[in-house]
């Protein structure tokens, strides 16, 4: 009997310590986010990556050239068509855990269709070295790098963002200004990431505890099976193991920051927007995505049988064609 009481005491103590840790952690995060002024963060943004230039890879076909470089700590993969039909480039921004590599199936297609595309990796992602401890990175910090990429292009680009990259696209439109067009690929919702929180938690009940103990979002993708369940379906063109091997660590703070009172979507966006949702997305529900697209008055395409990583699903080409057709209807130069 005493052993039973002892076990109960130990369990209660463990649960109390875990709850206390979680509360203290959340209090610290809320206090940190409350002090952030995105406009001030943008004004103070500095790329502290190691200076220098390195060409990682290059390729050439009859249709396009590809250059893969790391310059001043920023990885870029650029596809340039030999017969360029559009002066407007497409800037591709990855989401959580990913890097510039995640666009490798779409970039050749858009090059064939006459579009130059530039895929970049945020610091600590893909081939871009870490500049700030990943666990304390925030959306306003990442936004500074997105703005720097837009500013370095000769023409205002079409900004294409996947998942968190879609959130950064929304942040750009609010804090930086309008663009030629915005393509949001399975993006975070317009108002709050928490609206679909139960959807994610139902697939992984241990996630809140593990993320709190790790002080990061990395437990979301702690093994190939978990990564695949979040991002792809059984018909994807990448295996769970291949996907898992390419993913990196990620901040948990960014997920919390895309919520009130730290975030409210802009209601005066003039940029034409296309919103894409996977029918079988394990992260974003079709219902909530539809509401978000309606809020922005964005054109909305639901991709049948597709998961969160639309550019890695078996329908990747058909989805890219829908984006191409939408851009052509807009007559983007």
* Percent of the chain scoring above 90 in pLDDT: 82
Range of lowest pLDDT (123-132, 197-206, 259-268, 322-331): 197-206
pLDDT at residue 9 greater than cutoff 60: no
Range of lowest pLDDT (45-54, 74-83, 189-198, 204-213): 204-213
On whether the CB atoms of residues 51 and 131 are closer than 8 A, the answer is: no
Residues 6+ apart with CB under 8 A from 59: 65, 66
pLDDT at residue 237 greater than cutoff 50: yes
pLDDT at residue 152 greater than cutoff 80: yes
Instruction: Summarize pLDDT for 94-142 with one digit per residue, the tens.
Output: 999 999 999 999 999 999 999 999 999 999 999 999 999 999 999 999 9
Helix axis angle, 164-175 to 139-152, nearest 10° = 70
Backbone dihedral region for residue 297 (phi beyond 0: left; psi -120 to 50: alpha; all else: beta): left
Q: Write down the pLDDT at residue 144.
A: 98
Q: Write down the pLDDT at residue 238.
A: 98
pLDDT grade for 22, boundaries at 50, 70 and 90: low
Q: What is the pLDDT averaged over residues 310-314?
A: 98
Range of lowest pLDDT (28-37, 111-120, 258-267, 313-322): 28-37
Instruction: Summarize pLDDT for 41-84 with one digit per residue, the tens.
Output: 999 999 999 999 999 999 999 999 999 999 999 999 999 999 99
Q: Which two tokens stand for residue 27?
A: 């209090």
Domains of the chain, start order: 36-330 (3.40.50.1820)
Q: Write down the pLDDT at residue 173.
A: 98
Q: Model's pTM, two decimal places?
A: 0.92
Q: What is the pLDDT averaged over residues 176-198?
A: 93
Q: How many CA atoms lie within 13 A of 147 on its CB side?
A: 24
Q: What is the pLDDT averaged over residues 146-167?
A: 97
Q: What is the pLDDT averaged over residues 156-165?
A: 98
Distance CA 88, CA 46 (A): 26
Mean pLDDT of the chain: 92
Question: In 3D, which of 289, 331, 333 has the Cα closest to residue 310?
Answer: 289
Q: Which two tokens stand for residue 87?
A: 């002066």
Count Cβ atoms below 10 Å from residue 33 Cβ, excluding itself.
Answer: 18
On whether the CB atoms of residues 309 and 195 are closer than 8 A, the answer is: no
Q: What is the pLDDT averaged over residues 33-38?
A: 90
């Amino acid at each position: 009997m005493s052993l039973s009481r002892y076990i109960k005491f130990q369990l209660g103590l463990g649960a109390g310590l875990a709850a206390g840790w979680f509360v203290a952690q959340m209090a610290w995060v809320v206090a940190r986010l409350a002090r952030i002024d995105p406009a001030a963060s943008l004004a103070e943004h500095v790329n502290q990556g190691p200076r220098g230039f390195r060409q990682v890879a290059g390729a050439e076909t009859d249709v396009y050239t590809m250059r893969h470089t790391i310059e001043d700590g920023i990885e870029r993969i650029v596809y340039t068509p030999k017969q360029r039909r559009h002066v407007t480039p497409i800037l591709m921004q990855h989401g959580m855990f990913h890097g510039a590599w995640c666009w490798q199936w779409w970039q050749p297609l858009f090059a064939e269709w006459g579009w130059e595309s530039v895929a970049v990796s945020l610091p600590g992602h893909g081939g871009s070295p870490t500049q700030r401890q990943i666990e304390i990175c925030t959306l306003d910090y990442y936004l500074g790098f997105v703005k720097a990429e837009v500013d370095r292009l000769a023409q205002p680009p079409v900004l294409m963002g996947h998942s968190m990259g879609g959130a950064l696209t929304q942040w750009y439109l609010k804090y930086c200004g309008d663009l030629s067009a915005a393509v949001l690929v399975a993006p975070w919702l317009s108002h709050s990431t928490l609206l679909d929180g139960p959807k994610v938690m139902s697939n992984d009940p241990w996630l809140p505890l593990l993320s709190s103990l790790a002080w990061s979002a990395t437990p979301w993708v702690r093994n190939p099976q978990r990564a695949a369940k979040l991002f792809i379906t059984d018909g994807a063109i990448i295996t769970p193991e291949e996907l898992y091997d390419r993913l990196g660590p990620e901040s948990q703070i960014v997920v919390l920051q895309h919520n009130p009172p730290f975030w409210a979507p802009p209601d005066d966006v003039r940029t034409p927007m296309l919103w894409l949702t996977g029918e079988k997305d394990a992260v974003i529900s079709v219902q909530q995505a539809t509401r978000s697209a309606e809020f922005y008055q964005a054109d909305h395409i639901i991709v049948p049988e597709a998961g969160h990583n639309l550019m890695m699903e078996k329908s990747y080409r058909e989805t890219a064609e829908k984006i191409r057709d939408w851009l052509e209807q807009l007559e983007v130069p």
